[in-house]
Amino acid sequence: MQFPQPFTLRWERRVLHFKRPAATSRGALTERVTYIIEARTADGSGYGECCTMPGLLPEPTEAELEAWCSEVMRRGGLQGIAAPSPIQFGLECALLAALRPGLPRWDTPFARGEEGIPIHHLIWMADIDTMLAAMQQGIERGFTCLKLKVGAIPFAHELALLREAHAAFPMADIRVDANGAFSPAEAPHKLEQLAAAGVSSIEQPISPAQWQHMAALCRTSPLPIALDEELIASPSPEQLLDTIRPQAIVIKPSLHGGLLAAQRWAAHAEQRGIAWWVNSALESHIGLTALAEWCAYAAPGRLQGLGTGRLFTDDDSLPIQLQGCKLMYVQEH
């Protein structure tokens, strides 16, 4: 992407603090390091976010970020640039926003406040009673898709929770994410048990870089399998999708190469009849807003795995808000 006018890039490191510890399969997070990139032109500024998920990608060094910003300014845009995924995502979002300073990156019904983005209802890891109560609240708000993590507590307890959830909410689409918690040997039996418990699909049942095992699971699983972490280090979308043949992929632009790479992943999936959706990855309001704007542009009306924001005590207000079970754009512009 060549930028049509002169611009400068600057960045700022921020440490954001969770309102409550964010329980993940890799431990509880209390703070989040992120870098905010500003693209400034004579007409105004646009912002992007460069952040990582602990345990999946290394945090960009400030020297790397400075070097990539300098290189993009020298080239006058992103043409030929392939920075590490978090940096690429932040640069793309900042420059796209600078093309329309003060406005959404794309003019869509979502950006005009006319349509919302349906999202799943994420159930944070907690005790069983708390998780069931959270599911009930989601159903009452109109959510049709519930998303839970598995692999963090004893599997028998997770199955009991899922059976109870399916019995209580039989019309809900219950998705689970294992984050690679199962071994290839135990995965087939566990997938059968999850299917019997009413689960509709699973993300990343085994750890990545085991293509033959994952391909075998995708051929025989009673549950649709969506690849997630598998996309991070893939040298070739075509090779990965043709080898494994998953039922779906989960795209995280900040981890999977940025927005342009996300567009390529989506196109390759659609060519092969593979479903796809976008998940956020604990971004601040800057990254989450960019993801929502791109989802509304790239796949209007599709259910996405975006968060609702407002995770941090020291983050600014979102221009998007959760209304019912949809994200709506509410910023005046």
Could you please report the per-residue DSSP string of 164-226?
Answer: HHHHH-TTSEEEEE-TTBB-TTTHHHHHHHHHHTT--EEE--B-SS-HHHHHHHHHH-SS-EE
Per-residue H/E/C for 306-324: CCCCCCECCCCCCCEEEEC
pLDDT value for 247: 98
**pLDDT value at position 24?**
61
313 forms bridges with which residues in the sheet? none
Most confident of 88-92, 154-158, 282-286: 88-92
In this structure, are strands 27-41 and 44-51 parallel, antiparallel, or unpaired? antiparallel
For the question of residue 252 being annotated catalytic, the response is yes
Instruction: For 163-221, write each residue's pLDDT tens digit.
Output: 999 999 999 999 999 999 999 999 999 999 999 999 999 999 999 999 999 999 999 99
Q: Which two tokens stand for residue 153?
A: 């507590």
Domain limits, the chain: 8-99, 117-329
Of residues 153 and 274, which shows the higher confidence score?
Answer: 274
Q: Does residue 26 surpass a pLDDT of 70?
A: no
Taking every pair of C-alpha atoms in the chain, what is the biggest distance, in angstroms? 60
CATH code for residues 8-99? 3.30.390.10
- Confidence label for 333 from pLDDT (cuts 50, 70 and 90): very low
Average pLDDT, whole number, for the chain?
92
| Phi-psi map region of 246: left, alpha, beta (phi>0 left; psi -120 to 50 alpha) | beta
**pLDDT surpassing 90 at residue 56:** no
pLDDT tens digits for range 63-86: 999 999 999 999 999 999 999 999
For the domain 117-329, what is the CATH code? 3.20.20.120
pTM (predicted TM-score): 0.93
Q: Give yes or no: 19 in active site.
A: no
pLDDT at 27: 66
Q: What percent of the chain has pLDDT over 90?
A: 80
**244 vs 126, residue with greater confidence:** 244
Catalytic residue among 147, 190, 252, 326: 252
Q: Is the pLDDT of residue 252 over 60?
A: yes
Residue 125 is classified by DSSP as S
Whether the per-residue pLDDT at 25 is higher than 60: the answer is no
